[in-house]
């Protein structure tokens, strides 16, 4: 069986969250979607499970935080820096918070974080394929 990752996120409004993620390019998997949860496929091996607060509580008694703190940052690799900028723009247009942190640019890679409507932080990023293969230029240059 292929190893996969399922990112589970509590959401206040399932329909709103589904529309947000669809606008960013995620595809709903209806076989694993009902009125309490939605499977949003990013790739063959990455699925974001959007869970209503009631459904979330079936898995944990830990509180759902909404104080704007940050304890998790989910990073998605995109093919170009322009795709990173576009995903951030779309997040802002569809109910998320674009520019929740300033963009970072290290020449060989860049990222620009946004928050979804429930405050979950996502960081789309692009890395030059050569840097991805060989490591960051400063590490390659000094032999580390």
The percent of residues in the chain predicted with pLDDT above 70, rounded, is 90
pLDDT at 133 over 60: yes
Name residues whose C-beta falls within 8 Å of residue 72's C-beta, 6 or more positions apart in sequence: 120, 121
Q: pLDDT value at position 144? A: 46
Q: pLDDT value at position 130? A: 81
Confidence of residue 140 (pLDDT cuts 50, 70, 90): very low
pTM: 0.86
CATH numbers and ranges of domains, the chain = 1-59 (3.10.180.10), 71-144 (3.10.180.10)
pLDDT in tens, 51-106: 999 999 999 988 887 766 667 889 999 999 999 999 999 999 999 999 999 999 98
Structure tokens at 60: 């944990």
Tell the burial category of 79 from Cβ atoms under 10 Å away from its Cβ (0-12, 13-18, 19+).
exposed
Q: Are 103 and 86 in contact (CB under 8 A)?
A: no
């Amino acid at each position: 069986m292929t190893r996969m990752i399922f990112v589970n996120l509590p959401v206040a409004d399932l329909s709103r969250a589904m529309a947000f993620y669809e606008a960013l390019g995620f595809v709903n998997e209806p076989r694993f979607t009902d009125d309490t949860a939605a499977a949003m496929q990013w790739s063959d091996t990455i699925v974001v499970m959007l869970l209503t607060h009631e459904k979330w509580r079936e898995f944990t008694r830990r509180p759902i935080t909404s104080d704007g703190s940050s304890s998790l940052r989910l990073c998605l690799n995109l093919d170009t820096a322009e795709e990173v900028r576009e995903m951030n723009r779309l997040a802002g247009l569809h109910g998320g918070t674009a520019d929740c942190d300033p963009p970072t640019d290290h020449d060989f890679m860049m990222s620009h974080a946004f928050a979804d409507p429930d405050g979950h932080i996502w960081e789309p990023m692009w890395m030059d394929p050569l840097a991805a293969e060989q490591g960051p230029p400063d590490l390659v240059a000094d032999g580390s």
